[in-house]
C-alpha cells in the first residue's frame, strides 16, 4: 500500500529523544539530545512505500531550536549566522524479512553551520526492547572558521584549526520483568574532540573573560529509571544518572566538566530525580 503525507509548522526531528518528558522512558534527556535540533519550523513530505518510508523536509533554522542560541552571533561565535535547514531520511521495518527490527538513516543540514547524520536501530524482543542511535556531526566551513579563534584563545595557540567532526552513540534497553514494571537503561558515549558540535561538551572547553568553562573532550553517561505503572494512565519513576568526562582539551589539567556546590571542578557527577505522572 502506497501513502503520502505533508506536515507543516512546528515539527520534531524523526530521530532521537522527544522534547516532552512523558514521551520518553527517562526523566532527563541525554547528551545526544542536546546535540540535535529537536524542533523544526518548516514542512516535511513523507512517502510510505510499505517496505520503507522516505521523507524530505526544509525550513527555518536558528535560535528557537535547542542549543540554537549557542550557534547564533554571540560571544562564543561572534558574527556567525545561519538561517535554513534541509532534512531527509528513510526508515524500514524488517519484520517482513523475519527480523523484529526497525532501521533508520537520517540526515539534517544547516546552511553554513552543521551537518548531522544518524543511524537508528531498534526492536522489541519480548521482555526487553533495545535501541541504538549513532550520530555523526560535521561542521561546515563557516562554523569551523567562527569557532577556531575561540578555542584557539582557550589553548593559547594563534591561528588554531579545530577538528571538523564529532560523534556519539546511545544504547537503550527497557526491561519489563512483570506487568506494570519496567526498567529503562540508557548508556551514552560522545567524543566532541575540540569542536562546538556537541554543545554540552564543546562550550565547556572555552575561555571567556578569563574564565574557563570546563576542559573535557569526551563524556559517557549511564542512566537507569525504574518505573511503576499502577494503572495504564499513571506512572511513578525514580532515576539515577551518572556522567564521567575525559580527554583534557587543555594539557596539564583534569578533564573536568562539572562544578559542585562548593565551586570545585569535577570529572564526574551523579544526579537523581523522581517523577509522578498521569496521562489523559
Grouped pLDDT means (10 residues each) for the chain, 280 residues: 88 93 93 95 96 96 92 86 96 85 97 97 93 98 93 89 97 96 98 94 76 88 98 95 95 90 93 93
H or E element in which residue 146 lies:
helix 141-155
Strand partners, 219: 190, 245
**Coil/strand/helix, residue 94:** helix
Q: Cell 531550536 identifies what position?
A: 65
Distances (CA, A) of 197 to 94, 114, 217: 32, 8, 11
Alpha-carbon distance of 40 to 85, in angstroms, equals: 9
Contact 162, 151 (CB under 8 A): yes
pLDDT reported for residue 245? 97
pLDDT reported for residue 2? 67
- What's the domain count of the chain? 1
Q: Which three cell numbers stand for residue 5?
A: 503525507
Domain with 158, as residue range(s), is 3-278
pLDDT reported for residue 1? 56
What CATH number is given to the structural domain containing 53? 2.40.160
Amino acid at each position: 500500500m502506497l501513502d503520502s503525507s505533508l506536515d507543516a509548522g512546528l515539527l520534531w526531528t524523526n530521530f532521537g529523544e522527544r522534547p516532552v518528558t512523558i514521551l520518553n522512558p527517562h526523566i532527563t534527556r541525554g547528551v545526544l539530545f542536546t546535540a540535535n535540533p529537536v524542533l523544526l519550523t518548516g514542512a516535511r513530505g513523507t512517502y510510505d512505500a510499505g517496505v520503507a518510508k522516505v521523507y524530505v523536509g526544509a525550513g527555518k533554522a536558528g535560535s528557537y531550536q535547542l542549543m540554537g542560541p549557542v550557534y547564533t552571533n554571540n560571544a562564543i561565535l561572534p558574527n556567525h549566522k545561519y538561517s535554513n535547514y534541509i532534512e531527509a531520511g528513510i526508515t524500514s521495518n524488517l519484520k517482513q524479512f523475519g527480523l523484529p527490527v526497525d532501521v533508520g538513516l537520517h540526515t539534517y543540514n544547516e546552511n553554513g553551520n552543521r551537518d548531522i547524520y544518524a543511524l537508528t536501530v531498534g526492536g522489541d524482543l519480548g521482555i526487553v526492547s533495545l535501541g541504538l542511535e549513532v550520530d555523526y556531526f560535521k561542521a561546515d566551513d563557516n562554523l569551523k572558521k567562527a569557532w577556531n579563534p575561540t578555542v584557539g584563545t582557550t589553548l593559547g595557540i594563534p591561528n588554531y584549526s579545530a577538528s571538523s567532526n564529532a560523534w556519539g552513540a546511545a544504547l537503550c534497553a527497557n526491561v519489563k520483568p512483570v506487568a506494570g514494571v519496567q526498567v529503562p537503561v540508557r548508556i551514552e558515549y560522545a567524543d566532541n574532540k575540540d569542536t562546538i558540535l556537541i554543545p554540552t561538551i564543546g562550550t565547556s572547553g572555552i575561555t571567556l573573560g578569563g574564565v574557563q568553562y570546563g576542559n573535557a573532550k569526551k563524556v559517557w553517561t549511564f542512566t537507569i529509571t525504574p518505573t511503576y505503572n499502577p494503572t495504564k494512565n499513571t506512572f511513578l519513576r525514580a532515576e539515577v544518572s551518572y556522567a564521567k568526562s575525559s580527554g583534557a582539551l587543555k594539557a596539564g589539567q583534569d578533564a573536568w566538566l562539572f562544578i559542585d556546590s562548593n565551586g570545585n571542578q569535577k570529572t564526574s557527577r551523579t544526579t537523581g530525580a523522581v517523577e509522578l505522572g498521569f496521562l489523559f
